[in-house]
Amino acid sequence: YFKGRGVPRDYAAALTWYRLAATQGDIDAQFNLGVMYAHGQGVPRDYTAALTWFRLAAAQEDGDAQLNLGVMYHKGEGVPRDYTAALTWFRLAAAQGLAEAQYNLGVMYLHGQGIAQDEVQAYLWFDRAAATYTTTPERNEAVTTRDSVAAHMTPAQIAEAQQRAREWKRQ
């Protein structure tokens, strides 16, 4: 019902079915309820409810929910802006291979948001995002940003970042 595949799109019906499944612990339903509340799809926008559902899915290691929690803490949506919490959630999602979380970690290291500014770490995360993105525009943005960071780094720093990136790939 949410996407209207094979049936007319019906957010009210989607909400009913998602709630039923989510209360039984279904991760996808919990995540989708979070999306509905975060974007006001079929319900009034409610960041508190979105956080609740994303947290339940994230507790079950749903990378997309972890990413969304990171974004909400980074932007201060429904919670006070908290870069430390954003870092935690982005790291969890990045470890699951989510390119957007990897890119966001690069941004946070580049600007010193919630952590000491570290161009080597920023380079590493932009490099990981570039390798992980499956769409060309996002991949190109990650490459461009990584290369922009590299322009301010010494050759030794670039070598260190590349070594860390290789080591991270093996984890």
Residue by residue, what is the 3-state secondary structure of the chain? CCCCCCCCCCHHHHHHHHHHHHCCCCHHHHHHHHHHHHHCCCCCCCHHHHHHHHHHHHHCCCHHHHHHHHHHHHHCCCCCCCHHHHHHHHHHHHHCCCHHHHHHHHHHHHHCCCCCCCHHHHHHHHHHHHHHCCCHHHHHHHHHHHHHHHCCCCHHHHHHHHHHHHHHHHC
**Structure pTM?**
0.90
Superfamily of domain covering 1-96: Tetratricopeptide repeat domain (1.25.40.10)
pLDDT of residue 10: 78
Q: What tens-digit pLDDT sequence spans the chain (171 residues)? A: 566 677 667 778 889 889 999 999 999 999 999 999 999 998 999 999 999 999 999 999 999 999 999 999 999 999 999 999 999 999 999 999 999 999 999 999 999 999 999 999 999 999 999 999 999 999 999 999 999 999 999 999 999 998 988 887 655
Where does CATH 1.25.40.10 sit in the chain? 1-96
